[in-house]
C-alpha cells in the first residue's frame, strides 16, 4: 500500500474533533508536541545562557516576544483549524434545506478540496514554499543577526544550541503548522461561501 502524503496532512486536521476518543487524544497530542517544542527551545537557550542576555544590544529568549507568540499560537492554530472543520461538517449537515437538496453531493467537491486533491494541492504548495522561504531567510539572518536586526539574538549562530532548537521550532511553525492551518482556514471559508451561495 502506497503512503499518501496529502491524505496524511489533511488527516492531521480532519481527524481531530468529533470522533469519540479522538478529540481528547488529538488535543493532548497537539499540546504535548507544543510543550516539547517550548522545552527544546528553552533548553537550548538555557545551555547557551541566553534566556536573558545582559548585553543591551542582544535579545534573549525571554525578551523575544515573537518566539513566545509562536510557541503559544501554534497549537491554537492547529486546534482551531481542526475544530473549524468539525463545525463546518456539523453545520452543513444540520442546515434546514429542501429534501431535494442532497448535502452529501454538495459537500463532496469541497471535501475533496479539503483532502488536498486536485488543484488545491498547488495552493498548499504555495503556502508551504512561502513558509520554507521565510525559514531559510531566518537562518540566513541569524547567521549575521547584527547586520539584519542591529542586535544579537538568542538563536544566532553564535549560540549553537539555541540556534538548532529554534530553527527546528520555526520549521515546525512556518513550514508545517502555518501552511496547513491557513490552507484549511482559507478553504473552509471559501467552501462555506460557495455552498451558501448555491443553496
Is residue 161 a contact partner of residue 169, using CB atoms and an 8 Å limit? no
| H-state helical runs in the chain | 5-14, 22-47, 65-93, 103-114, 120-143, 145-149, 160-171, 178-198
Residue 156, CB half-sphere, CA atoms under 13 Å: how many?
A: 20
Task: Please report where in the chains the cell 512556518 appears, as a residue.
Answer: 174
Q: Would you state the cell numbers that stand for residue 28, as one nine-digit string?
A: 493532548
pLDDT the model gives residue 101? 66
Separation CA 45–CA 2 (nearest Å)? 41
Is residue 177 a contact partner of residue 34, using CB atoms and an 8 Å limit? no
CA 22-7-137 angle, to 5 degrees, is 100
Largest CA distance in the chain: 70
The predicted-structure confidence for 89-104, as pLDDT tens digits, reads as follows: 888 877 776 666 677 7
Q: What is the rounded average pLDDT for all residues in the chain?
A: 89
Instruction: Please report, for the chain, the start and end positions of each structural domain, with discontinuous segments joined by +.
Output: 5-198
Of 32 and 106, the one with more pLDDT: 32
The predicted-structure confidence for 174-184, as pLDDT tens digits, reads as follows: 999 999 999 99
Report which of 132, 172, 176, 135 is spatially closest to residue 9, judged by C-alpha positions.
Answer: 176
The predicted-structure confidence for 16-58, as pLDDT tens digits, reads as follows: 887 666 888 889 999 999 999 999 999 999 999 999 988 888 8
Is residue 160 a contact partner of residue 48, using CB atoms and an 8 Å limit? yes
Q: Which residues pair with 152 in a beta bridge?
A: 58
What percent of the chain is modeled with pLDDT above 90? 60
C-alpha dihedral, 53 to 59 to 65 to 67, nearest 10°? -90
pLDDT the model gives residue 99? 65
What mean pLDDT do residues 61-79 have? 95
Q: Which residues pair with 59 in a beta bridge?
A: 153
What percent of the chain is modeled with pLDDT above 70? 94
Amino acid at each position: 500500500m502506497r503512503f499518501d502524503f496529502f491524505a496524511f496532512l489533511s488527516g492531521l486536521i480532519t481527524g481531530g474533533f468529533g470522533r469519540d476518543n479522538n478529540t481528547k487524544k488529538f488535543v493532548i497530542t497537539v499540546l504535548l508536541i507544543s510543550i516539547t517544542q517550548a522545552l527544546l527551545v528553552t533548553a537550548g537557550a538555557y545551555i547557551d545562557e541566553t534566556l536573558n542576555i545582559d548585553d543591551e544590544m542582544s535579545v534573549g529568549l525571554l525578551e523575544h516576544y515573537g518566539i513566545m507568540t509562536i510557541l503559544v499560537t501554534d497549537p491554537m492554530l492547529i486546534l482551531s483549524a481542526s475544530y473549524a472543520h468539525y463545525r463546518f461538517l456539523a453545520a452543513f449537515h444540520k442546515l434546514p434545506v429542501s429534501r431535494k437538496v442532497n448535502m452529501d453531493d454538495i459537500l463532496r467537491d469541497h471535501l475533496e478540496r479539503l483532502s488536498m486533491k486536485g488543484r488545491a494541492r498547488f495552493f498548499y504548495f504555495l503556502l508551504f514554499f512561502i513558509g520554507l522561504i521565510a525559514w531559510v531567510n531566518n537562518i540566513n539572518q541569524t547567521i549575521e543577526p547584527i547586520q539584519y536586526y542591529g542586535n544579537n539574538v538568542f538563536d544566532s549562530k553564535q549560540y549553537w544550541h539555541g540556534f538548532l532548537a529554534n530553527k527546528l521550532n520555526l520549521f515546525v511553525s512556518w513550514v508545517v503548522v502555518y501552511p496547513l492551518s491557513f490552507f484549511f482556514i482559507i478553504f473552509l471559508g471559501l467552501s462555506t461561501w460557495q455552498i451558501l451561495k448555491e443553496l
